[in-house]
Amino acid sequence: MLASSSTAVKYPLTALNITSATRSYQQGFWQQTPPVPLSRWKTISNTTCIKENNSNHGHNTNDRSQSRDNTEFHHRVPFVMVLGAQKAGTTALVKYLSTHPHIQHLPIKELRYFDEYLDGNPDNILLQDNGGGGIPADKVLQVYQEQVIGGIIPLEVLQLSSYLKIVDGTPNYLMMSDRVPQRVLCAAPWVKLLVLLRDPVDRAFSQYNMQYHRDVHNPTNRRGFSTFEEYIDMDIQVLNDVGVLNNATVLDEEYLSSQQLMASWSTYTKLGLNSPVGRGLYAIQLYHWLQQMKAYGKDSNTDLLVLQSERMNNDTKETFDEVLQFLELPNHTLPQFGKIHTTTYRTKRMEQSTRSRLEDIFRPFNRHLERLLGDDWRGVWDG
């Protein structure tokens, strides 16, 4: 790797402007509106990429916008997306990346634009072109840059530096694989993609601990579960009801590529559930992402890096160096961190019978990861 020849001047994130940016984002334009009714989903197309958009959709195109309409700026905003998985170390990875002199730290890790905003805005951008007949790439990217990124830090900071790059660390992007890949690859086909995968059984239990802890401290958010078994039972039932699990005993290319599975998965992800089991069905999600990368002419060998969460936890330096090499960023020595996001919410252990039950569910999906990702993933979570 190259040694760093220049140091970018980052936007100084003081306690005051971090608080201001976070509050502004939490009360932002996309969270003030109710979600798109399910009845309107049929009119939203994620299959057609409209690369040229000359209508502006009432958007004010000023000199500042025009000055950013260049390849160099676009390729930095966004530069890389950490797609997931939730509770697999994405917070730590984004924090590590944010220490690099060429990465502009953002006070908000999960931007949630390509899933929640494009899902939840009643005046959805995806409904404004050709009667909802496609993804208007220019408009989608423009809103992302000006209203999402620009709502957090001044875009002039990024304009003035040819080095600073933006990381979007939204772990929902991996799971929403029926619609997010098309949106991302249409609007930002240059973006690098990072994925962290954790043993799906441990990942589900970690999610339960996080959710239970939050509910204990905020009883108004109670979701109707107490034990881990109740938590996963609800999800397994839904996965069976919508047709994701009931045909998954033998997982093969025909099953993963079937329209039936895509329809079932799309229905499941739009229900807005906690999805402790569904989030661990990595083979489905990665298959969708890989297929869309192929459709958009994007090389998964150079533009997608999938890492084992356990490896990053046990050998942080080597894994981080691999990430920098993948991103073609200069060498960088990580500062000394303590454990990041190590949760100690509950001391109760998972019942062995519950672990065995989940291992049986995940086994065919884990086996197919070997076919998708190679021998390094053979039996990685077999214990």
DSSP conformation letters of 208-253:
HHHHHHHHHH-GGG--S--SHHHHHHHHHHHHHHTTSSTT-SS--H
In a domain, 124, yes or no: yes
What's the mean pLDDT in 314-332?
97
How many CA atoms does the CB half-sphere of 269 hold within 13 Å?
24
Are 191 and 324 found together in one domain? yes
Q: What angle do CA 223, 180, 166 make, to 5 degrees?
A: 100
Average pLDDT of the chain, as a whole number: 83
Closest CA to 260 of 246, 277, 249: 246
The DSSP element (H or E) to which 320 belongs, if any, is: helix 316-327
In a domain, 155, yes or no: yes
pLDDT in tens, 236-247: 999 999 999 976
In a domain, 291, yes or no: no
214 is an annotated ligand-binding site residue: no
Are 151 and 264 found together in one domain? no
The DSSP element (H or E) to which 141 belongs, if any, is: helix 137-143
Tokens 């093969």 correspond to what residue? 252
206 is an annotated ligand-binding site residue: yes
The residue from 10, 42, 51, 87 that is catalytic is 87
Are 95 and 181 found together in one domain? yes
In a domain, 289, yes or no: no
Domain of 49, CATH number, reads: 3.40.50
Q: If phi over 0 gives left and psi between -120 and 50 gives alpha, with beta otherwise, what is residue 166?
A: beta
Closest CA to 284 of 375, 382, 181: 181
Give the confidence band of 383 by pLDDT, cuts at 50, 70, 90.
low
Q: What's the domain range around 313?
A: 1-197+298-345
pLDDT above 90: residue 182:
yes
In a domain, 292, yes or no: no
What tokens appear for 9 in the block?
């001047």
What's the mean pLDDT in 318-323?
97
User: Tell me, what's the pLDDT at 303?
Assistant: 98
pLDDT above 70: residue 23:
no
In a domain, 162, yes or no: yes
pLDDT above 70: residue 14:
no
Are 125 and 176 found together in one domain? yes
* φ, ψ (nearest 5 deg) of residue 195: -135, 135
Are 319 and 178 found together in one domain? yes
pLDDT in tens, 105-140: 888 889 999 998 888 776 678 877 656 678 999 999
pLDDT in tens, 335-353: 886 556 555 555 568 999 9
Give the confidence band of 85 by pLDDT, cuts at 50, 70, 90.
very high
Question: What type of residue is 171?
Answer: P
Question: Per the structure, how many domains does the chain have?
Answer: 2
Are 328 and 252 found together in one domain? no
Q: How far apart are CA 4 and CA 53, in angstroms?
A: 38
Are 94 and 72 found together in one domain? yes
Are 14 and 106 found together in one domain? yes
pTM confidence score? 0.86
Are 380 and 312 found together in one domain? no
SS (H, E, C) 8-33: CCCCCCCHHHHHHHHHHHHCCHHHCC
In a domain, 293, yes or no: no
CB atoms within 10 A of CB 116: 18
User: Tell me, what's the pLDDT at 296?
Assistant: 95
Are 49 and 72 found together in one domain? yes
Are 190 and 339 found together in one domain? yes
- Is 87 an active-site residue? yes
In a domain, 287, yes or no: no
Are 93 and 139 found together in one domain? yes
